[in-house]
Amino acid sequence: MTVNVADAGMSLRERMLHAGLFELIAVIVFAPLITWVTGKPLHQAGALTLTLSCIAMLWNMVFTAAFQRIERQRGWRRTLRVRLLHAGLFECGLVVVMVPVIALWLQVRLLEALLLDIGLILLFLPYTLVFNWLYDRARARVLSGRLGRLSNP
């Protein structure tokens, strides 16, 4: 049986699991990378990565709620143009917040922090794609197994 993951809505608990796994793996992968690029100690890069992760999750919740409210008020449909607008504005807002944090944390100039943030954005795009693709595949298998057990007592 094939399960369309998009049709099977995520519960709050699953959304928390999804976000938590996404961020945990990101910290494990990107903290050593930041250490390598900046020459800063792993504990400092790890703490920065964790902080940036928390900022990104909070910004995601706040921005997406506000954007969805505007969507409803204006009667927008989720076309490619609207999705691109959402993604672009989300990333711009994230840069505005994260660049000063990176600069203060690593004690570097804003330009250096901006370049590091741009590098992280470029790395997060494929990471996000691969993570969500793998998560959706695993989720579909779990849901298929559950549905199969329910229909075959």
Residues 86-114 have pLDDT tens digits of: 888 999 999 999 999 999 999 999 999 99
What pLDDT does residue 100 have? 97
How far is residue 89's CA from residue 45's CA, in Å, rounded to a whole number?
26
The mean of the pLDDT values for the chain is 85
| Distance (Å) of CA 53 to CA 25, 48, 100, 150 | 11, 8, 15, 38
pLDDT of 3 over the 50 cut: no
What pLDDT does residue 97 have? 94
Report CA torsion sign: 68, 30, 25, 123: positive
pLDDT of 9 over the 80 cut: no
Q: Is the pTM of this model over 0.75?
A: no
What pLDDT does residue 1 have? 33
Identify which has the larger pLDDT, 145 or 105.
105
Query: Domain extents for the chain?
Result: 12-141
Phi and psi at 109, nearest 5°, equal: -70, 160
The percent of residues in the chain predicted with pLDDT above 90, rounded, is 40
Phi and psi at 136, nearest 5°, equal: -60, -40
Task: Tell me the mean pLDDT in the region 63-81.
Answer: 89
The gap between the terminal CA atoms of the chain, to the nearest Å, is 16
